[in-house]
Copies of this chain bind each other. A is one copy, B any other.
């Protein structure tokens, strides 16, 4: 198996982008990544996208994106796993290069969630849960994560304030990310006082509806050296599934799928949680970041709230999390999120994160998740000296 490096990164300024459609978004990010890598061609491409069908009445986006990027006739494959679509696209691209099938692969993710057709964004997003048992009966994702939050508060004594602190921290980090959708500095009290969505979660606990794309270029470490790029290697790539419906889980204070994906990634990388210098995790809702911290082994079970309260996940803390601003501040164009997490890892490992730079960062981890934890990828990157 060949060693694989990330040699190019590109993304748009995310937000409500009324003047750009699905193909514009993807092509813009892809060209930025190709330019950053300095490659003169690509051999294959993957596109993570959750629901261009329901959002934009457009399937077959492998053909569409290869076409509009001027890359025909190369293979172009769309992968979908709800909000983990981007992370899975990264793993597919990794396998294609590692396995020797292609030398240079473009991995992108995209979602155009505003200006949508049909029944709107909340309806489309709800198709990531079990339609027959969950969505049809009226539940949507804020409600599912609210139940997980209530259970975590009840079982472990996690406080409303600790949950809110995730939002406060991520928004503080996002202030330094020029591509983030929201530049806000809410206080804990602002989060607690914000509009209720599904108790105990308020609007400032929820990631937004976003238009955006992200793209990276993968190649062999050998090629990366020839390109003169910093060698940032994918050392671990894990993917797992769990029940799509929340009611089928043994314990809804857990997101087992993150633990299962992490176990594979840690094993492949030969690393433990203590070796990770910083992480991007899937904070679709504030409570998700807390539970995932526990699943990834960054703190003991039930202790994520106190860890956040103690500042352990801030820049400069023990294990900085979501230095990009996370989904909360940066935005969450669902298919693009998993790819954008890798971009933040690369920027940290290149030392380009400015005020959110983690000093001496050598190993970073990205965790990307679909639905209420039905699918997940964990990717570990290391800067090689």
Contact = CB atoms under 8 A, between A and B. Distances in A.
A24 to B, nearest CB: 11
A272 interface: no
A63 B375 contact: yes
Interface string A86-127: 001001100110111100000000000000001000011001
A95 B88 contact: no
A3 B286 CA distance: 46
B60 A128 contact: yes
A127 B371 contact: no
Contact of A375 (B62, B80, B82, B99): B62
A262 B383 CA distance: 40
Interface stretch (A27-35, A234-242, A306-314): A234-242
Contacts of A370: 60, 62-63
A144 B64 CA distance: 17
A162 interface: no
Interface stretch (A130-138, A219-227, A273-281): A130-138
A375 B57 contact: no
B95 A81 contact: no
B67 A243 contact: yes
Nearest to A248: B67
The oligomer's copy count stands at: 2
Interface in A1-50: 1, 21, 50
A59 B127 contact: yes
A77 interface: yes
B81 A127 contact: no
A240 to B, nearest CB: 4
Contacts of A91: 75
A58 B374 CA distance: 13
A69 to B, nearest CB: 10
B81 A77 contact: yes
Contacts of A371: 60, 63
A50 B57 contact: no
A33 B225 CA distance: 44
Contacts of A1: 99-100
B127 A72 contact: no
A38 to B, nearest CB: 24
A53 interface: yes
A209 B130 CA distance: 24
Contacts of A75: 91, 239-241
Q: What 4 pairs across the A-B complex have the smallest Cβ distances?
A: A99-B99, A63-B374, A75-B239, A60-B82
12 contacts: A1-B100, A21-B132, A51-B53, A53-B124, A60-B127, A60-B375, A62-B80, A62-B241, A63-B370, A63-B375, A72-B241, A95-B101
Given A63-B370, A95-B96, 4 more contacts: A51-B59, A53-B53, A57-B131, A62-B370
